[in-house]
């Protein structure tokens, strides 16, 4: 299967086409195309159950029968490769009879419980029975029935995962779920068991179907065998309408449909909207179930205003008047630069731009940033990290790359769609996958090489790569020139030792990078969250220059949030790209003279009481900033704090005024994903309660300050269009950068490196309000290797005390299947466990000690 021609259309040189006739029409298709795909390409509908465009064909259901001349029997079109001169009939009487027989055969054991079945109304079997089927059955025996439970409590539905309910009676054994789980997600928690009449799909023994993509299994099930709790028994499908939305939690912006009901103003589910450029029709569960926070019961309903130390409900007019009054007071007393603005990068373009203009024109301060969960941000717009973050990236190119490197990135947790792309490339094309991480991550199972370096030695491992390539002359000598002088590590072995990795492995990767035809190099959040990311970014710039990756592929730090790239493009950072800044100046008519402060610096200034007021929109710095105490102290010292959020959070509890923020599903907004692709999320429902979109809130505050932002929405759009048109991509530096590799400090008292990030089923602070996701992971945990757990004498679920010099938390242990070094990972998404309180913003690697909590 090395040359699976299905996706290999990039080689037109070979005359690999065949011509066949389908229903009297001649068609020419690439060699290897199946008859079914050829017919579908012509717009001929052939009914299927088991076929899926992104999976391999198995021909399990036989529904796609076609008649092919000179073949003795009906042929299964999804498993029949098109050959020259084939004459295919898809609509002959024989085919119709065949389909009818298949439907009857499937219905022999399929219960007719459509009224209770949630698939009713969108069920493939239902539709095809209507179209091709019969209205009576010739089978007069009892249907096969799978049940669970004792006689009196018999039930058909079994819960095989936190969210998935299986009804084996309805299953028609198309194996789509099992195949998708295996081929697309690389999971083996679902399988087919037994033989013959009692064949059943079920969870693997002793396991639950809880992989982060399990929702897709429900969506692709052609019948109602797999249903999920989210949608189960909520509403009938024909009563709903769909809003075309996008994922608000990931950087790729997977396309989704929000199924809503207009009268009730409710969203009932979220499904994938296949976009082959971005998501291939698979969405992660965090996307699928995360929308539930929109419908959460504890949304903020009205503005809150602090009176006598207590937050009380207030009207919008009252709250806005207070905001305007207090901002003016602070402004008058302390001066322009004393007001800071933080905005979350999951808000839409218009909100971001409005806030940008509000801060820079209405307030007149340069203090605006969206990167609020990163410590020690570079204070220079031209830093290597900024360059790396601004580089272009194309998701679909991952598919076609033959060398894929993920560096310092837990892809499953951070970029689920790109994670699936890597799996796709690996499974269908046998692409070479290399992961270079401070701890082993999920996709190490498909990696040709999984390099685990010493936590904190980010730049050392990249230096080792560069030096190995230079020493072994893998690239042109001209490129090597000038490199070694800039690096602090004198040799590849030196660097590999500093990084704690095997030089041979590094050499393999370097050779692959040097020889790869198409390379994708992705740097992730573990780099970005590192306090000393700048050195690693510089090392990556050197790497890019050395291997000339840009000419053979792409290299970028992937944008983490749904509109991170949009925020960059709209100049929502202290140091916008020069082209963007030029457009902004033109649009604003002025540029604030004050110092540009990053989010990180703003917090520092707040701690010094140099910034006295702040506006925080949609963000929760206390929970997410990697030094909880620091962030809280900073915000507590403020004279006046306005927070817009959808929920009451740790940050809103400090606020003087809390304004309810509308969620992504409640207004139409544009989002720019990591590729720079602008996508629109349509409003599904009206803003719930009294919440308002961020741009409206910002405009209202500006109006209350008597400095309106825009004359009209049209003005806003034209201004924004000009800015978005500006090129924000920063060029690589002209020469090699100096990389000072510092040794990683160790500590006897706190031996274990701690990594804090998102759980695979969560993202940020909002998904905590999505009940389905809480069913997957409801509380924080300490993920660690089995060896470490054994050394601590703890088992899965035992509580451990995780202590750092500044704090401690008690969390249950979760033994990881892939982490094999003594590190610990704790998700930050759960407000009940303030894991960020363990972190110190200046630490290169946060280290903790773990002790078992006695029962």
Partner 1 sequence: MKDILKAIGNVFIKMPQGFLVTLKYFFKKPVTLDYPRKKKPMVPRYRGKHYLERYDDGTERCVCCGLCAAACPADAIYMEPEETEKGERKAKVYEINLLRCIFCGFCEEACPEEAIFLGQEYEFSADARNKFLWTKQDMLVPHPRKDNPFKRILRRVRKVYGTPEATR
In this structure, what are the phi and psi dihedrals at residue 47, rounded to the nearest 5 degrees? Answer: -70, 140
The answer to the question of residue 155 lying near partner 1 (CB under 8 A) is yes
From the list 498, 501, 388, the residue with the least C-alpha distance to 440 is 501
Residue closer to partner 1 (CB basis): 233 or 591: 233
Pick between residue 159 and residue 313 the one whose CB is nearest to partner 1.
159
Binding of partner 1 at residue 24 (CB under 8 A)? Answer: no
Interaction between residue 369 and partner 1 (CB under 8 A): no
Q: Which stretch binds partner 1 (CB under 8 A): 109-117, 207-215, 249-257, 525-533?
A: 109-117
Q: Of the candidates 83, 134, 239, 745, which one interacts with partner 1 according to CB under 8 A?
A: 239
Helices 349-357 and 578-588, axial angle in degrees (round to 10): 70
Stretch that binds partner 1, among 110-118, 502-510, 747-755, 788-796 (CB under 8 A): 110-118
Count of residues of this chain found to bind partner 1 when the rule CB under 8 A is applied:
18
Burial tier of 204 (Cβ tally within 10 Å: 0-12, 13-18, 19+):
middle
Least CB distance to partner 1 at residue 134 (A) = 18
233 binds partner 1 (CB under 8 A): yes
Per DSSP, 626 falls in state S
Give the footprint of partner 1 on residues 274-333 (CB under 8 A): none
* Cβ neighbours of residue 846 closer than 8 Å, sequence gap 6 or more: 626, 753, 754, 756, 804, 838, 839, 840
Q: Binding partner 1 by CB under 8 A: which of 157, 397, 445, 585?
A: 157
Minimum CB separation of residue 113 from partner 1 in Å reads 8
Nearer to partner 1, 115 or 309 (CB): 115
Q: Are 169 and 148 in contact (CB under 8 A)?
A: no
Length, in residues, of the chain: 855
Query: Considering the rule CB under 8 A, would residue 232 count as an interface residue with partner 1?
Result: yes
Nearest CA to 63 among 199, 185, 183, 176? 176
Q: For residues 850 and 265, give the distance between their C-alpha atoms in angstroms, rounded to a whole number.
A: 47
When the beta carbons of 159 and 182 are compared against partner 1, the nearer one is 159
Q: How far is the CB of 593 from partner 1 (least distance, A)?
A: 59
- Write the DSSP assignment of 152-196 as a string of letters: GG-BSEEE-SSSEEEETTT-----HHHHIIIIIT---SEEEES-G
Among 18-26, 235-243, 305-313, 681-689, the segment contacting partner 1 (CB under 8 A):
235-243
What is the separation, in whole angstroms, between the first and last Cα of the chain?
54
Question: Which of 19/116 has CB closer to partner 1?
Answer: 116
146 in helix, strand or coil? coil
Residue 230 in contact with partner 1, rule: CB under 8 A: no
- CA–CA distance, 534 with 557 (Å, rounded to integer): 13
Residue 115 binds partner 1 (CB under 8 A): yes
Could you say whether residue 153 binds partner 1 (CB under 8 A)?
yes
Q: Residue 252's closest CA among 675, 757, 735, 686?
A: 675
Provide, rounded to whole angstroms, the least separation between the CB of residue 500 and partner 1.
Answer: 51
Q: How far is the CB of 385 from partner 1 (least distance, A)?
A: 49
Range in contact with partner 1 (rule: CB under 8 A) among 37-45, 232-240, 561-569, 831-839:
232-240
Kindly report the CA angle at 267 between 263 and 269, in degrees rounded to 5? 135
For residue 472, what are the CA distances in angstroms to 435, 453, 503, 506, 851? 22, 21, 12, 12, 46
Query: Which residues touch 674 (CB under 8 Å, ≥6 apart)?
Result: 251, 252, 253, 393, 395, 556, 558, 559, 564, 565
**Taking CB under 8 A as the rule, does residue 234 contact partner 1?**
yes
Closer residue to partner 1 in complex, CB, 266/326: 266
CB of 164 to partner 1, least distance (A): 12
Q: Which is nearer to partner 1, 97 or 236 (CB)?
A: 236
Query: Which position among 156, 187, 459, 675 is part of the footprint of partner 1 (CB under 8 A)?
Result: 156
Nearest residue to 638 (alpha-carbon basis) of 334, 343, 378 = 334
Residue partners of 84: CB distance under 8 A and separation at least 6: 18, 19, 20
Q: Is residue 136 within the footprint of partner 1 (CB under 8 A)?
A: no
Q: Is the Cβ of residue 268 or residue 710 nearer to partner 1 in the bound state? A: 268
Phi, psi angles (nearest 5°) of residue 335 = 110, 170
- Tell me which residue of 86, 87, 64 sits closest to 75, measured CA to CA: 64
Choosing from 165, 320, 580, 774, the residue that interacts with partner 1 (CB under 8 A) is: 165
Choose one: 226-234, 401-409, 465-473, 612-620; the region binding partner 1 (CB under 8 A).
Answer: 226-234
> Judged by CB under 8 A, which stretch of 67-75, 150-158, 581-589, 743-751 contacts partner 1?
150-158
Q: How far apart are the C-alpha atoms of 184 and 487, rounded to whole Å?
A: 41
Query: Considering only residues 5, 44, 235, 493, which one is a binding residue for partner 1 as defined by CB under 8 A?
Result: 235
Nearer Cβ to partner 1 (165/826): 165
Smaller CB separation from partner 1, 120 or 778: 120
User: Residue 422 corresponds to which tokens in the numbers above?
Assistant: 């890597």
Beta carbons of 17 and 31 less than 8 angstroms apart = yes
- Residue from 5, 58, 87, 114 touching partner 1 (CB under 8 A): that is 114
Least separation in angstroms between residue 595's CB and partner 1 is 56
Please tell me whether residue 238 binds partner 1 under the rule CB under 8 A. yes
In whole angstroms, the minimum distance from the beta carbon of 203 to partner 1 comes to 16
The residues pairing with 796 across neighbouring beta strands, listed in sequence order, are: none
Q: Is 141 in the site for partner 1 (CB under 8 A)?
A: no
Q: Does 721 bind partner 1 (CB under 8 A)?
A: no
Q: Enumerate binding residues for partner 1 (CB under 8 A).
A: 114-116, 118, 120, 153, 155-157, 159, 165, 232-236, 238-239
């Amino acid at each position: 299967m090395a040359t699976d021609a299905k996706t290999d259309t990039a080689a037109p040189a070979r005359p690999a086409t065949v011509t066949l006739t389908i229903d009297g029409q001649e068609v020419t298709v690439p060699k290897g195309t199946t008859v079914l795909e050829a017919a579908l390409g012509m717009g001929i509908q052939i009914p299927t159950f088991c076929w899926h465009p992104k999976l391999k064909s198995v021909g399990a259901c036989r529904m796609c029968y076609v008649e092919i001349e000179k073949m003795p029997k009906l042929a299964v079109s999804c498993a029949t490769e098109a050959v020259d001169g084939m004459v295919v009939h898809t609509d002959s009487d024989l085919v119709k009879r065949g389909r009818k027989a298949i439907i009857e055969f499937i219905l022999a054991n399929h219960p007719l419980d459509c009224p209770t079945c949630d698939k009713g109304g969108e069920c493939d079997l239902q539709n095809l029975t209507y179209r091709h089927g019969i209205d009576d059955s010739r089978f007069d025996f009892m249907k096969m029935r799978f049940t669970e439970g004792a006689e009196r409590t018999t039930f058909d539905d079994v819960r095989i995962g936190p969210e998935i309910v299986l009804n084996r009676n309805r299953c028609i054994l198309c194996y789509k779920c099992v195949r998708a789980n295996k081929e697309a997600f690389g999971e083996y928690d679902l399988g087919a068991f037994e033989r013959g009449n009692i064949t059943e799909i079920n969870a693997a023994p002793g396991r639950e179907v809880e992989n982060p993509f399990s929702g897709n299994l429900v969506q692709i099930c052609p019948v109602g065998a797999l249903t999920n709790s989210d949608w189960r028994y909520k509403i009938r499908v024909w009563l709903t309408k769909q809003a075309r939305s996008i994922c608000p939690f990931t950087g790729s912006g997977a396309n989704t449909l929000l199924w809503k009901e207009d009268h009730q103003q409710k969203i009932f589910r979220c499904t994938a909207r296949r976009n082959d450029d971005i998501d291939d029709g698979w969405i992660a569960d965090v996307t699928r179930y995360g929308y539930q926070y929109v419908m959460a019961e504890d949304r903020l309903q009205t503005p809150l205003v602090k009176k006598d130390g207590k937050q009380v409900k207030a009207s919008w007019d009252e709250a806005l008047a207070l905001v305007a009054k207090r901002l003016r007071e602070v402004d008058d007393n302390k001066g322009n630069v004393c007001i800071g603005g933080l905005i979350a990068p999951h808000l839409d373009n218009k909100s971001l731009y409005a806030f940008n203009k509000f801060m820079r024109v209405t307030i007149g301060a340069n203090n605006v940033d969206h990167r609020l969960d990163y410590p020690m941000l570079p204070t220079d717009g031209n830093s290597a990290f900024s360059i790396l973050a601004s580089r272009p990236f194309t998701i679909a190119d991952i598919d076609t790359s033959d060398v894929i490197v993920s560096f310092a990135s837990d892809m499953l947790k951070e970029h689920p769609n790109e994670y699936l792309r890597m799996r796709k490339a690996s499974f269908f094309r046998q692409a070479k996958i290399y992961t270079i991480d401070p701890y082993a991550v999920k996709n190490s199972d498909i990696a040709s090489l999984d390099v685990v370096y010493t936590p904190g030695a980010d730049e050392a491992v990249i230096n080792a790569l560069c030096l190995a390539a230079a020493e072994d002359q893998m690239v042109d000598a001209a490129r090597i020139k000038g490199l070694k002088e800039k690096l602090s590590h004198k040799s590849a072995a030196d660097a590999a030792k500093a990084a704690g990795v095997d030089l041979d492995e590094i050499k393999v990767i370097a050779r692959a990078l040097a020889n790869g035809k198409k390379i994708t190099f992705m740097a992730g959040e573990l780099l970005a969250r590192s306090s000393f990311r700048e050195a690693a970014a510089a090392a990556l710039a050197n790497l890019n220059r050395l291997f000339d990756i840009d000419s053979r592929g792409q290299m970028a730090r992937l944008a983490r949030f749904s509109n991170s790239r949009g925020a960059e493009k709209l100049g929502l950072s202290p140091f916008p790209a020069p082209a963007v800044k030029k457009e902004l100046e033109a649009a604003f008519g002025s540029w604030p003279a004050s110092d540009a402060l990053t989010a990180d610096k703003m917090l520092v200034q707040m701690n010094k009481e140099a910034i006295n007021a702040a506006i925080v929109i949609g963000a929760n710095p206390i929970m997410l900033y990697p030094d909880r105490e620091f962030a809280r102290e900073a915000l507590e010292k403020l004279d006046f704090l306005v927070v817009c959020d959808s929920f009451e959070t740790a940050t809103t509890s400090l606020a003087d005024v809390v304004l309810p923020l509308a969620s992504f599903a409640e207004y139409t907004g544009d989002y720019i994903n990591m590729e720079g692709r602008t996508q629109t999320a349509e409003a599904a429902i009206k803003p719930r309660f009294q919440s308002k979109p961020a741009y409206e809130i910002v405009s209202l505050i500006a109006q209350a300050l008597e400095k309106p932002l825009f004359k009209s929405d049209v003005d806003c759009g034209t201004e924004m269009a000009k800015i978005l048109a500006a090129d924000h991509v920063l060029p690589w530096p002209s020469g090699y950068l100096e990389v000072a590799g510092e040794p990683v400090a160790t500590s006897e008292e706190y031996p274990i490196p701690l990594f804090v990030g998102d759980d695979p089923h969560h993202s940020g602070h909002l998904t905590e309000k999505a009940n389905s996701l809480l069913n997957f992971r409801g509380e924080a945990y300490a993920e660690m290797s089995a060896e470490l757990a054994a050394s601590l004498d703890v088992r899965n679920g035992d509580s451990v005390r995780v202590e750092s010099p500044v704090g401690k938390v008690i969390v249950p242990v979760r033994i990881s299947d892939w982490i094999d070094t003594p590190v610990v990972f704790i998700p930050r998404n759960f407000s009940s466990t303030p894991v960020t309180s363990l972190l110190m913003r200046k630490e290169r690697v946060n280290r903790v000690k773990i002790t078992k909590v006695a029962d």
